Amino acid sequence: MSTKLQWGVIGTGNIARAFARGLAESQTGELVAVGSRSNASALAFVEDFPAACHGSYEALLADPRVQIVYISTPHPAHVQWAIRAAEAGKHILCEKPLAMNLAEARSIVDAARRHGVFLMEAFMYRCHPQIARLVELIHNRAIGDVRLIRATFSFACPFDPQSRLLNAALGGGGILDVGCYCASMARLVAGAACGKPFENPLAVKGVGHIGTTGVDEYAVASLQFPNDVLAQIASGVQLNLDNNVHIIGTEGSILLPSPWVTNNARAGFSKILIFKNHIPEEIVIETDRGIYALEADHIAEQIAQGRTQSPLVSWDDTLGNMQVLDHWRMEIDGSPY
pTM of the model: 0.96
Q: Does position 263 have pLDDT exceeding 60, yes or no?
A: no
What kind of fold does domain 126-288+309-333 have according to CATH?
Dihydrodipicolinate Reductase; domain 2 (3.30.360)
pLDDT band at 267 (very low <50, low <70, confident <90, very high): low
* Mean pLDDT value across the chain: 95
Q: Where are the domains of the chain?
A: 5-124, 126-288+309-333
pLDDT band at 266 (very low <50, low <70, confident <90, very high): low
pLDDT value at residue 68: 98
Say if 5-124 and 126-288+309-333 have the same CATH topology: no
Catalytic residues: 96
What kind of fold does domain 5-124 have according to CATH?
Rossmann fold (3.40.50)
Residues 6+ apart with CB under 8 A from 1: none
pLDDT value at residue 120: 99
- pLDDT tens digit string along 84-140? 999 999 999 999 999 999 999 999 999 999 999 999 999 999 999 999 999 999 999
pLDDT band at 156 (very low <50, low <70, confident <90, very high): very high
- pLDDT tens digit string along 288-303? 899 999 999 999 999 9
Q: Which long-range contacts (CB under 8 A, 24 or more apart) does 312-318 make?
A: 312/123, 312/126, 312/127, 312/131, 313/120, 313/121, 313/123, 313/126, 314/197, 314/198, 315/109, 315/112, 315/113, 315/119, 316/198, 317/184, 317/187, 317/197, 317/198, 318/98, 318/105, 318/109, 318/121
